[in-house]
Amino acid sequence: MTDKQADTQANTLLEVKHLNVDYLASNGTVHAVTDVNFVLRRGEILGLAGESGSGKSTLAYAITRLLRPPAMITSGEILYYPRGDDDSCDILQLNSRQLRSIRWNDLAIVFQSAMNALNPVMNVGAQIMDVLRAHRPEMGPDSRKKRAIELLQLVGIAPDRLRSYPHELSGGMRQRAIIAIALALSPEILIMDEPTTALDVVVQREILTEIIRLREQLGFAVIFITHDLSLLLELADNVAIMYAGRLVEQASSRDLHQHPRHPYSYGLLNSFPALHGPLRRMSGIHGSPPDLRAVPPGCAFHPRCPLVFSPCRTDLPLLRPPVQGEDNGRLVACHLYDPRYNAEPPSTTDLARKYEALVEGSVTQ
Amino acid sequence: MRHLLRRILFYACAVWVAITLDFFIPRLAPGDPVAALIGKMSTKGYVTPAMQQTLSAEFGLNTHDSLLAQYFKYLGNLLHGNLGNSIQYFPTPVTQIIAQDIGWSLMLGAVAVFISFTLGCLFGIIVAWRRNSALDTILSPAMNFLSAIPYFWLALLSLFIFAYLLNWFPLTGGSYDAANINPGWSFDYIGSVIQYAFLPALTLVISSLAGWMLTMRNSMITTLSEDYVLMAKAKGLSEGRVMFRYAARNAILPNITGFAIAIGAIVGGQLLTEMVFSYPGIGYALFQAVGEQDYAMVQGVFLIITLAVLGANFLADMLYAYLDPRVRVERSA
Amino acid sequence: MKTQEISGPASAAPFALQPGDPIYARVLRVLLMIWHAMTTSRKVAIGSAIVAFFILVGLFGPVIMNTDPNAISTLFITPPTAAHWLGTTVVGQDIFTQLIYGTRTSVFWGLGTGVLVTLLSVMVGLVAGYFGGWIDDVLTLLTNVSLVLPALPLAIVLAAYFPRGSLTICLVIVFTNWAWQARVLRAQTLSMRSREFVTAARTSGEHTWRIIFVEIFPNEIGIVVAGFVSTTIYVILTWTALEFLGLGDRTIPSWGSILYWAQQAGALGGGLWWWFIPPGACIALLGAGLSLINFGIDEIADPRLRRERPVKVKNIKKAVA
């Protein structure tokens, strides 16, 4: 093991290996997550991006084992390396008591819609304090109240809101309240499932600034799930892009912004109009995501890809470094970067040209 | 506070409607009730002209007051707690008879409702939590069927089986064994009361249990798929706390609304039960009054029943407002 | 007593129609949906079969039997024999004949009253929901008051004063039971009213009543049907209860009047089980059939309530939530 690898090892917080999640329905099995592998390091913000139905939420719920039937985790390991310890535990193998002790203590989740995630008949303070009561039995009611007020202030909610009901708070405040509850036990990992999608852009900005500040202060890792890639470019350290249940690209956000490799990543990035620069035609991505009961053979993206060529229709591309021998963590699942199929990997301008050609209509699918 | 005020106003309105209906129904109905009554009473004995006068006065028929004046006189009487005199037990005032009977009805009703509501909700919660278990697959369709059985037929059946065939319970009716036991705080008396009330209470509980259980179950199933229940699980809270404080607490709200509305039906059902078992409560009194054409009784009992139902409804409303804080906010339609 | 009414589909329209389609298309679609419901949901199928059975017996039973149900004989209070399948009453009447004729009376008066109640509640619901304003306020107040007054005691009082007969009972039941459905329908109409197709209709100058009946109402047929089923259960039970109390027409045979005469003759104390068990069983069965249809519709409307058939999975390392 090299020094670098050892260093990475020590820093690893969560390791997902070969995770598969299926939805068993009477009209066909939906492969929501197929063979997903990634690593989350301490204090890292990992962005998980993809269209609706790409499996990102399913992945998040699988990690916390909150999936409801008919969803089932059919194979895989989710190794969690608790604070400072050497030994890991497989979250999928924990019994219910162990699971309950990990939940919220180490692994907290921030839901998409705060209005739906808060119990409408309990006030906000009670919802913070019952977590404390369940996991910190040594705390008395006074210290619980103190901690609750502390948490509310941490996210910028006035303490007099302790006894407020969810319907009495504004949308932004509810989201903050959810974040406060999530941070109650100082977890190691915070999973955020589209926490700002339901809010307007101004509040969105406030919440995101809040998250960055809290992360700097408390040092937790974040898995941030969203379909809004531009958000991740600002917020995340690393980004993983999912398509049809598989990871298709992994890179640092900077790298991704400057040089997206996978044609899908390029398409996603360029679906957002730039604030500056010359006017250009927007292409978006032709077609729509596949039905997960019948994923296209070979590369799932091939029916929509402007750079499709023959192996794409038959062979499944695996996640591998785009440049041979490089080990900086960049991974892409595309035959264009596989020297066995394609000698010269495309550059960004190549991708740009192909997409524009799509718009012009000169490339037929 | 706003909410409380609106509800009070509403119930005041409902009370007024009830009183007014009670006043106008006998007067709007065709036919001459007094003549019919006198005809009936004549079969039992001679009806003196004085009695005839009193009867007509009871009905306000021989006065030359306008309808409106009669109405206000009626209201005035009500405020003084005067519901008129019973014809069957002439000249005992109606209020006296009601006072005797209402205790039995309340006891029977309160016990039956409490047991069936509590058990029903509990079963509903458990069955929804353990869905697709053996319990759910057997209990739910059984309850479905049970809730469709007419109240009084269930009562008849149980009377037949348990009282007639098995002789476990009394057949003749009453609230306790009046021939042998005197009222008082003795074991004998209490035991006798329980024996006479058991079968009516049992049929009431069985009949209404299904309704509570099924509504609770359905409501619980819907609630369990809500995000806040998922979040409660994610928080690592104990299963009991998630089930009760998060899920059941929300799922029970439709049942409480239903409870308020069902109180009227419960009272109606109890009426029939008392009738079948000849249980000397207010429902039985109403039935007898109808049969004997004791109109003063009929009106009086109806009013008391209605006031009780409105009162119970009001309490249920208040309970709901306490349980669901969203209701307390003034909401536009 | 009848608390299962409460569980009726509150705001979800089980059959979503495309607003704006021509009438015949929508009617056809509704019929197709009913057929679909009957064939896919086991509950609806069984329930419909039971109800259909009783309707058929009611329609054709008396025609086939063609005897006088009130004919007295000298065979008093006999248990079931070959000649009298369900025995005889205290004046020698054949109970089986009475039951068959009674089925016709009870089922058709029950269904008819159910239809009337539904009609009235639909009218009130639509008007209150569509017009809003003071009309809505008044109608809502009326509805709420009617809901909160106890139905059976009021029905008893009304039936006691007005001339005895089936029509009286019918009207009394309508008067005391319209409120529940009206409230449901008002809520639904309110939400429909703010939809775009209604705004479009109003802007194009469509006549108000046309909007209500041709545009809005067809979208609510699902709820109305479900409500009709719920209501009819309650109507039949109330009807029988009132007859049992002697407030109905005691001269014609019906399930309730058979029970009334049985009670009068002390059938219970005399152990004359063949007299009072069959009519009650019929009521229970018809009620069960209607309930099944009701629950079936509920399940169609809200898929979460359906029985999950667990899918068989072999040899898979499961990790469940």
Residue type, B73: K
Distance of CA C236 to the CA centre of its chain: 7
Q: What are phi and psi of A194, to 5 degrees?
A: 45, 55
Q: Closest Cα to residue A220, out of A84, A89, A65, A41?
A: A41
Q: Residue C213 in 3-state DSSP? A: helix
φ, ψ of residue A345 in degrees (nearest 5): -65, 145
Distance CA C9, CA C246 (A): 35
C311: chain A residues, CB-CB within 8 Å: 24-26, 70
Query: Which residues of chain B have a CB within 8 Å of the CB of A163?
Result: none
Tokens for A135?
């996991």
* Strand order through the sheet with A189-193: A107-110, A189-193, A221-226, A45-49, A238-243, A246-252, A331-332
- Best mutation site among C137, C161, C260 for testing chain B: the one with the most B CBs within 10 Å? C161
pTM for the complete prediction? 0.74
pLDDT in tens, chain A (365 residues): 455 555 555 688 889 999 999 988 777 788 889 899 999 988 899 999 988 778 888 998 899 888 887 888 999 999 988 865 667 888 888 888 888 888 898 899 998 888 889 998 899 999 999 999 999 889 899 999 999 999 998 888 899 999 999 989 988 889 889 999 998 998 989 999 888 887 788 888 888 888 888 888 888 999 999 888 888 888 899 999 999 989 999 999 988 888 888 888 888 887 777 777 777 767 677 788 888 888 888 888 888 888 888 888 888 888 888 887 777 778 888 888 888 888 788 888 888 888 877 766 654 44
CA dihedral sign, ordered A11, A13, A17, A19: negative
β-pairing verdict for A246-252 and A238-243: antiparallel
> What crossing angle do the helices spanning B282-292 and B249-277 adopt, rounded to 10°?
40
Identify any residues that bridge with A40 across adjacent strands, giving them in sequence order. Answer: A14
pLDDT of residue A148: 92
- pLDDT at residue number B325: 82
**How big is the A-C interface in CB pairs under 8 Å?**
33
**DSSP-derived 3-state class of residue C320:** coil
pLDDT tens across B67-120, in order?
777 788 788 878 877 777 776 676 678 888 888 888 888 888 888 888 988 998
What is the reported pLDDT for C14?
Answer: 36
In whole angstroms, what is the distance from residue C146 CA to residue C140 CA?
Answer: 10
User: Which H or E element spans position A20?
Assistant: strand A12-25
Judge whether A81 and A37 are in contact, CB under 8 Å: no
Chains with 3 or more CB pairs closer than 8 angstroms to B? A, C
User: Exposed (0-12), middle (13-18) or buried (19+): which is B332, by Cβ within 10 Å?
Assistant: exposed
Rounded Cα distance, B217 and B219, in Å: 5
* Chain A neighbors of B225, CB-CB under 8 A: 68
Residues of chain C predicted below pLDDT 70: 1-23, 269, 301-321
> Measured between alpha carbons, how far apart are the two ends of chain B, in Å?
18
DSSP state of A159: G
% of chain B beyond a pLDDT of 90: 4
Q: What are phi and psi of C267, to 5 degrees?
A: -60, -35
Burial degree of A215 (CB within 10 A; 0-12, 13-18, 19+): middle
Provide the 10 A C-beta neighbour count for residue A79: 17
CA–CA gap between residue C141 and residue C125 (Å, rounded): 12
Confidence band, pLDDT 50/70/90 cuts, at residue B47: low
- Please give the Cα distance from C243 to C245 (Å, whole number): 5
* Pairing mode of beta strands A45-49, A238-243: parallel
Hey, which chains touch C, using 3+ CB pairs under 8 Å?
A, B
Residue A363 token pair: 């490339």
Q: Which residues contact A138 (CB under 8 A, 6 or more apart)?
A: none
Residue from C98, C97, C77, C96 nearest C88 by CA: C77
- Nearest-CA distance from C138 to chain A in Å? 30
Residues 6+ apart with CB under 8 A from C138: none
Interface test with A, best of B225, B235, B330 (most A CBs within 10 A): B235
pLDDT at site B208: 83
Query: Alpha carbon A149 to chain centroid distance?
Result: 30
Q: What is Dmax (Cα atoms) for chain C? A: 77
Q: Is C278 helix (H, G, I), strand (E, B) or coil?
A: helix
Three-class DSSP category at B296: helix
pLDDT top residue among B135 and C145: C145
Confidence of residue B44 (pLDDT cuts 50, 70, 90): low
Contact A119 B241 (CB under 8 A): no
Computed over every residue of chain B, the mean pLDDT equals 80
Interface probe with A: pick from C309, C312, C320, most Cβ of A within 10 Å: C320
In this complex, the chains that touch A, judged by 3 or more CB pairs closer than 8 A, are: B, C
3-state SS, one letter per residue, for A236-295: CCEEEEEECCEEEEEEEHHHHHHCCCCHHHHHHHCCCCCCCCCCCCCCCCCCCCCCCCCC
Whether the complex's predicted ipTM surpasses the cut of 0.90: no
Q: How confident is the model at residue B232 (pLDDT cuts 50, 70, 90)?
A: very high
Q: pLDDT tens digit string along B256-295?
A: 877 776 777 777 778 888 888 888 888 888 888 877 777 7
- Other beta carbons less than 10 A from residue B295's beta carbon: 26
Query: Given an 8 Å threshold on Cβ–Cβ distance, is C149 in contact with B17?
Result: yes
Other Cβ atoms closer than 10 A to B278? 19
**Largest Cα span, chain A:** 71
Angstrom distances, CA of residue A185 to CA of A136, A148, A208, A211, B227: 9, 11, 20, 16, 21
Q: Contact, C292 vs C46, CB < 8 A?
A: yes
Contact A121/B at CB under 8 A: yes
> What pLDDT score does C319 carry?
42
